[in-house]
Every structure is written in structure tokens, then in C-alpha cells.
Amino acid sequence: MAQLIDGKQISAAIKDELKTEVASYKEQGISICLAVIQVGNDPASSVYVGNKKKACAYIGIESKAYELPEETTEAELLSLIDSLNQDDSINGILVQLPLPKHMDEYKITQAISPKKDVDGFHEQNVGALQVGSQGFVSCTPAGVIQLLKRSGIDICGKECVVVGRSNIVGKPMAALLLRENGTVTICHSRTRNLAEVCRRADILVAAIGKPKFFDASYVKEGAVVIDVGIHRLPPAVEGGKSKLCGDVDFDSVAPHCSAITPVPGGVGPMTIAMLMDNCVATVRK
């Protein structure tokens, strides 16, 4: 049976390490503060923002919440970001996505100072990752690398197949695996013979955004499978509980893997742990 990669346990270990590190900074009179901006009240975003604030409190990072009404103009949001960019008491700035339709997400994410861009979305940080210089890395793919490393899975020389080419997950994931000396293939909706390409993978990263898309026919015997997807399935019976699943059909794939991440409890908890790591990195020497 496959090794279950426990994202809950690994993220908890990272948060505990960060808590110790933050306490030592506090003794030196150094504090860390994250500004968290939410526009409107999308329920899923409220849950994510709440979890980020909770993680900050646990680690000893101050968080300042800016809950703005749906009707906030782009100019008003840009003005808030500008003032936070200039405020020396703010180490990191996070604007929760998605934003309301009348706002240009690209313009907003690029307005955050690259030095405070703890999401790693600014072009300067995206470029830094490509050329291998210091910068903030997008949290979910950074979390995948930690899951692999802390589970004793070597990336060097391995065939890594990433399915998905988003700016937040697929592209930075490929760059990180390459940085770890993996042999990397990026697949997407136009890839021909997708299952055949996936079957080459020693490490398969599923980030296609379709529930239970990958069954056993996509997976080589003994591969490591990392499931980045998260979907809420409707209840099997009316009034029943809805269930979470990933991009991978776990029951079909797990018997063929050497290791696999579950959903929930795999990649999900790592995103916040790596966000916290990026916040702490703002004061690391």
C-alpha cells in the first residue's frame, strides 16, 4: 500500500518551527505583521482568510485585517496597498483572491511591493524564481516541495510531470522541481496523449482543476502522486454531508503508488504553512 503523505502533520511541524523562530526574533525586539485584505464576503474566501489569521496568531505573527465592502473601487484598494507598502510596521501584504469582477487582479497583485509580496505573485518574485535568485515563492508549489522533502522523496533526476500551467501553481511548480534537478514536463488541456505522458512520471503533480480526473490509467506503478486539487462534491443523498475530493481518484490510484497525498489533509494545509514561512522570511537574515 502507498505511503500516505500527511500534510496536516508536516504543516504542523513547520508551524511549530516557525513559532520557535518568531519567539527568538521577539526576544531581539523584532516583530512581524501581515496585512490581510479581503474585498467583499465570498464565503470560501472568508474561511481561507480566517485560517490565515489563526495561523498568524498561533505562530506569533500579528495580523491586521482589512475587510472592505464589495463596492470598494479599484482606486481605493490601490490607495490602501500604497499606504501599506510605505508602512514600515507592515512586513507582508496579502490580497485574498478572487477579487470582485470590477477589479483587475493583475493590476492589484502587481501594486504590492515585491518586498512585501508574501503570496509570491509579483512579477519580480516570479522572475526571481525563474533565474534562481532570492524572492518569495508561491505558497502551494513551495508546500509541495516541502511535502516531498520531508517525506524523504528525492527529486534529483526524477521524471516529474506537472499537469496544469497556472501562474500560481503549475508554472512555479515546474520551476521549483527543475531547481531541485528534476526532469520536468508541463502538461495542459491541449496536451496530446495526456495519460501516456503522465505514465512516464516518477512524480506526478495533479493540478488540472477537475474532480477525480486522474485514475490508475495515468499512473506508473510505484509513482509518487501529489494532488493539488480541492473540490466539494455534492452530498450522495439529499441532506447528507458534502465531501471533499481532489483531482485524483484516490481509490483507483493509491494501490499503484509508492506515495500519495490525500484530500483533504495533503497539499491544502501546506499553503498556509508556506505563507507563514514567507512572512517570517521578511525578517530572516
Residues classed as catalytic: 52, 96, 119
Q: How far is the CB of 146 from ligand GUN (least distance, A)?
A: 15
Rounded alpha-carbon distances, angstroms, from residue 15 to 9, 26, 194, 201, 274: 10, 16, 37, 31, 9
Of 138 and 261, nearer to ligand GUN (C-beta) is 138
38 binds ligand GUN (CB under 6 A): no
Please work out, in degrees rounded to the nearest 5, the angle formed at the alpha carbon of residue 233 by the alpha carbons of 143 and 145. Answer: 10
Q: Is 97 in the site for ligand GUN (CB under 6 A)?
A: yes
Q: Which is nearer to ligand GUN, 63 or 271 (CB)?
A: 271
SS3 sequence of the chain: CCEECCHHHHHHHHHHHHHHHHHHHHHCCCCCEEEEEEECCCHHHHHHHHHHHHHHHHHCCEEEEEEECCCCCHHHHHHHHHHHHHCCCCCEEEECCCCCCCCCHHHHHHHCCCCCCCCCCCHHHHHHHHHCCCCCCCHHHHHHHHHHHHCCCCCCCCEEEEECCCCCCHHHHHHHHHHCCCEEEEECCCCCCHHHHHCCCCEEEECCCCCCCECHHHCCCCEEEEECCCEEECCCCCCCCCEEECCECHHHHHHHEEEECCCCCCCHHHHHHHHHHHHHHCCCC
From the list 19-27, 77-85, 95-103, 254-262, the region that binds ligand GUN by CB under 6 A is: 95-103
Give me the 135-174 binding string for ligand GUN, x by CB under 6 A, dash otherwise: ----x-----------------------------------
Indicate whether 230 belongs to the interface with ligand GUN (CB under 6 A). no
- In the list 2, 39, 84, 95, the residue contacting ligand GUN (rule: CB under 6 A) is 95
CB of 255 to ligand GUN, least distance (A): 31
Residue 273 C-alpha cell reads as 504553512
| Number of amino acids touching ligand GUN (CB under 6 A) | 7
Task: With CA atoms as reference, report the closest residue to 160 among 184, 188, 178, 143.
Answer: 184
- Binding segment for ligand GUN (CB under 6 A), chosen from 89-97, 100-108, 157-165, 258-266, is 89-97
What is the closest distance, in whole angstroms, from the C-beta atom of residue 139 to ligand GUN in the complex? 5
Query: Rule CB under 6 A: is residue 244 a binding residue for ligand GUN?
Result: no
Question: Of the candidates 35, 81, 94, 276, which one interacts with ligand GUN according to CB under 6 A?
Answer: 94
Q: Figure out which of the listed residues 63, 72, 96, 278 binds ligand GUN, where binding follows CB under 6 A.
A: 96
Site string for ligand GUN, 111-140 (x = CB under 6 A): --------x-------------------x-
CA distance linking residue 205 with residue 251, whole number of Å: 17
Min dist CB 36 to ligand GUN, Å, is 9
Cell 466539494 found at: 232
Shortest distance, position 221 Cβ to ligand GUN, whole Å:
33
> Taking the complex as a whole, how short is the minimal distance between the CB of residue 63 and ligand GUN, in angstroms?
14
Looking at beta carbons only, is 143 or 182 nearer to ligand GUN? 143
- Interface contacts to ligand GUN, rule CB under 6 A: 94-97, 119, 139, 271
